[in-house]
Homo-oligomer: A and B are copies of this chain.
Amino acid sequence: MVYITRKEHFNAAHKLFNPSWTEEKNQNVFGKCANPNWHGHNYYVYVTVKGELQKETGYTVNLKELSSIIREKITDKLDHKNLNLDVDFLEGLMPTTEVVAIAIWDQLLEPVSKLGGILHCVKLCETDNNYVEYFGGK
């Protein structure tokens, strides 16, 4: 088994706000992330796929194809968008780093499988100082 990782990025706006809570509770829990007029980030997403080495190519999966899938399914839909308002697969979700990473996993699982690899990890970096990794499972 070999693990291959492709990094892509998108720039997006979001806010963290639970509408069933008071303004004060939102402030206490989410702090400045609850700013009503949004804020944003340069996000980096690392998609790791595992698989067997293909003898004829020396590839696990073709990186150009993996990159195309990530762009079509993920970054074309997230780049220069509002994660709370503009993205079909995030509708109704609180767009924390954790939630977005899991949602990206769900979008990629089947297409990566069709490519001949096994999705191993989605790593999503929100700032230089924090990131989330999701390996699937419950």
Interface residues of A (CB under 8 A from B): 1-9, 11-14, 16, 18, 21, 29-33, 35, 37-42, 48, 53, 56-60, 62-64, 79-82, 85-86, 93-99, 101-102, 127-135, 137-138
Contact = CB atoms under 8 A, between A and B. Distances in A.
Contacts of A32: 79-80
Contacts of A41: 11, 40-42
12 contacts: A2-B134, A3-B132, A4-B97, A11-B40, A12-B40, A18-B56, A39-B82, A48-B133, A58-B94, A58-B99, A60-B98, A63-B130
Given A5-B133, A133-B5, A134-B3, A98 B59 contact: yes
